[in-house]
Amino acid sequence: MMAETKTRLITALIVAPFVVACFINYNSLIGLVAAVVLLASYELLNMAILDQQHRIFLYFGVSISVGFTIVYGIFQARNGMLLLCLAFILNGALSVLTIKKISIVWNTVLASSLSLLYIAGCLSFFFPLYLKFGAANALLNLTAVWLYDTGAYFAGLRWGKTKIAKHISPSKSLEGIFGGFLTAIAFSVVYKICFELIFHSEVMPFKSLVIFSLTIAIFDTFGDIFESALKRYFNLKDSGNVLPGHGGMLDRIDGLLFVTPVTYFLFTLGIL
Amino acid sequence: MMAETKTRLITALIVAPFVVACFINYNSLIGLVAAVVLLASYELLNMAILDQQHRIFLYFGVSISVGFTIVYGIFQARNGMLLLCLAFILNGALSVLTIKKISIVWNTVLASSLSLLYIAGCLSFFFPLYLKFGAANALLNLTAVWLYDTGAYFAGLRWGKTKIAKHISPSKSLEGIFGGFLTAIAFSVVYKICFELIFHSEVMPFKSLVIFSLTIAIFDTFGDIFESALKRYFNLKDSGNVLPGHGGMLDRIDGLLFVTPVTYFLFTLGIL
């Protein structure tokens, strides 16, 4: 366990600065989100499309998810639903044109649709978040989830007793969630003070940071268990191995996928 | 065959006036679209969720699709992607809270996501179509697809020779598509003249009617074959039997689901 924790830490220390740097500019953010969608949707479709003869659907599905993300980003996060439905229809038409074996229809079509809505759609909320509520809040959404995950991981390891989803995600515990919640609050307070002092950029008010951390605790947990359920269906432990010590990209962003649209929603309501 | 055609015609003559009447008012249109989404998403989830113990996911999935449609309609077709992703997350969280058997995760989660994007999402483009481009154009989108389907059916029956999708939808022929295309053009010209004379409401220009009919011919065909592929995967001939002679609701709207977002897209581009 110690060796794995060390690998996990080293990977984080190498990858995190690059990821954070992408938030300096909107165009580099598009590149970052598209790259993450590429890896995560590849992993999802790779789980679902087991038939080696039908790898072409994997490439269709991934390309369409990534294409949607880039176009949505370039169009400044407008007409999202139209782009999403057109991407779905394009995927459907391509499937119809190339499919040979009916028995694989369901999994491939469904995995591509899921990839569009779940991965490309949900993660793309970084674009409106960045454009409407500022780079500082968008970066906080990402880094607070990281810190939440880290806090939950170590608190769970040390004090985890009350298991909440034994059959799906056996290591999840209430103690871990609480530890993550406290870590997220502590981190976001420090983040706010530093950002406002050093960069003079506005971060949500102090009282919103508590609601925000609570949102992360709830939706990160649901997101994580949801993704674990999908993996377990395929008898996999990790969605991939692109990030040593962290498993696959999808494992790393599963909480973020549920948190980001909800954060954006709370911002538009004026709650954050 | 004659008896089925007769049943089909009688059903159409009874149902069509009610459907057309719903276009008089925006609120009744919301009711109509929600009712169709209810029936079609029920049929889709009923195909996918075979396990009788897990019928509850069927009701979750249908409720969330219908809920999305109503809320999106009431909010005047704004924030569609946010609503779609929040509905997806809600569905994911409910699944996580209630799921007992991992082996059914994939089908249920995926069928609900598909229902959201494919049925509720695509059909809901009637709302922005109605609000931005007028009731007359929205109703034309529906009725021209009906007439296209009718024309394609009879032309295919009479002259169908060149099969285009033998394995998935054996009765589809190029001759049928061409017959449908001509029927759609003829109908939409008559529709435009009548509507502008009687109701003084604006319908797209004559040259756009040709592009519009071509759009229907292409995307109705893809939509129809796409839905046939899903059905064939489950060894079903019809998605249901709610409309005597027409099969299920999903069978009836399969073409419309692909045509409507594309029509709306062409309108926003200024092509129609």
Mean pLDDT of B20-47: 95
pLDDT band at B85 (very low <50, low <70, confident <90, very high): very high
Out of A69-73, B27-31, B47-51, B203-207, pick the least confident: B47-51
| Residue A145 host element (H or E) | helix A135-159
Structure confidence at residue A225 (pLDDT): 92
How far apart (Å, rounded) are the C-alpha atoms in residues A31 and A200? 26
What pLDDT digit, counting tens, does each position of B208-251 carry? 999 999 999 999 999 999 999 888 887 777 777 778 877 789 99
Provide φ and ψ at B121, rounded to 5°. -65, -55
According to the per-residue pLDDT averaged within each range, which of A104-113, A253-262, B92-101 is highest?
A253-262
B85 touches chain A (CB under 8 A): yes
Structure confidence at residue B111 (pLDDT): 87
What pLDDT digit, counting tens, does each position of A94-150 carry? 888 887 777 777 777 788 999 999 999 999 999 999 999 999 999 999 999 999 999
Number of CB pairs < 8 Å for A and B?
160
B109 touches chain A (CB under 8 A): yes
Structure confidence at residue A170 (pLDDT): 81
The CA-atom distances, in angstroms, between B68 and each of A23, A246, B42, B60, B115 are 32, 35, 15, 12, 11
Return the higher-pLDDT residue of A165 and A181: A181
With CA atoms as reference, the chain B residue closest to A225 would be B96
Q: For residue A269, how far is the Cα from the chain centroid?
A: 22
Q: Chain B window 178-207: which residues touch A at a Cβ cutoff of 8 Å?
A: none
What percent of chain A stands above pLDDT 90?
Answer: 68
If 0-12 CB within 10 Å is exposed, 13-18 middle and 19+ buried, where does residue A86 land?
A: buried
Structure confidence at residue A36 (pLDDT): 97
Structure confidence at residue B139 (pLDDT): 97
Flag whether pLDDT at B182 surpasses 80: yes
How far apart (Å, rounded) are the C-alpha atoms in residues A154 and A147? 11
Model-level pTM greater than 0.90?
Answer: yes
According to the per-residue pLDDT averaged within each range, which of A107-121, A129-143, A167-181, B105-119 is highest?
A129-143
A-interface mutation test, from B57, B76, B96, most A Cβ less than 10 A away: B96
Q: Which residues of A touch B234 (CB under 8 A)?
A: 106
Chain B closest CA to A50's CA: distance in Å?
Answer: 14
Flag whether pLDDT at B70 surpasses 70: yes
Taking the CA atoms of residue B182, residue B187, residue B189 and residue B191 in that order, the dihedral angle to the nearest 10 degrees is -170
Q: Which residues of A touch B233 (CB under 8 A)?
A: 102-103, 105-106
For residue B114, give the DSSP letter: H
B108 touches chain A (CB under 8 A): no
Chain B closest CA to A115's CA: distance in Å?
Answer: 10
Indicate yes or no: CB of B110 within 8 angstroms of CB of A114: yes
Flag whether pLDDT at B186 surpasses 80: yes
How far apart (Å, rounded) are the C-alpha atoms in residues B253 and B240? 12
Query: Could you give the 3-state DSSP secondary structure of residue A243?
Result: strand
What pLDDT digit, counting tens, does each position of A5-47 carry? 888 889 889 999 999 999 999 999 999 999 999 999 999 998 8
Flag whether pLDDT at A245 surpasses 80: no
Flag whether pLDDT at B1 surpasses 80: no
* Amino acid in the structure at residue B253: I
Which one, of A37, A44, A116, lies nearest residue B116 by Cα? A116
Mean pLDDT of B161-176: 86
- Strand-pairing partners, residue A243, are A247
Taking the CA atoms of residue B173, residue B176, residue B177 and residue B183 in that order, the dihedral angle to the nearest 10 degrees is 180
Indicate yes or no: CB of A122 within 8 angstroms of CB of B230: no
With CA atoms as reference, the chain A residue closest to B119 would be A85
Return the higher-pLDDT residue of A220 and B105: A220
B-interface mutation test, from A60, A85, A105, A220, most B Cβ less than 10 A away: A85
Flag whether pLDDT at A78 surpasses 60: yes
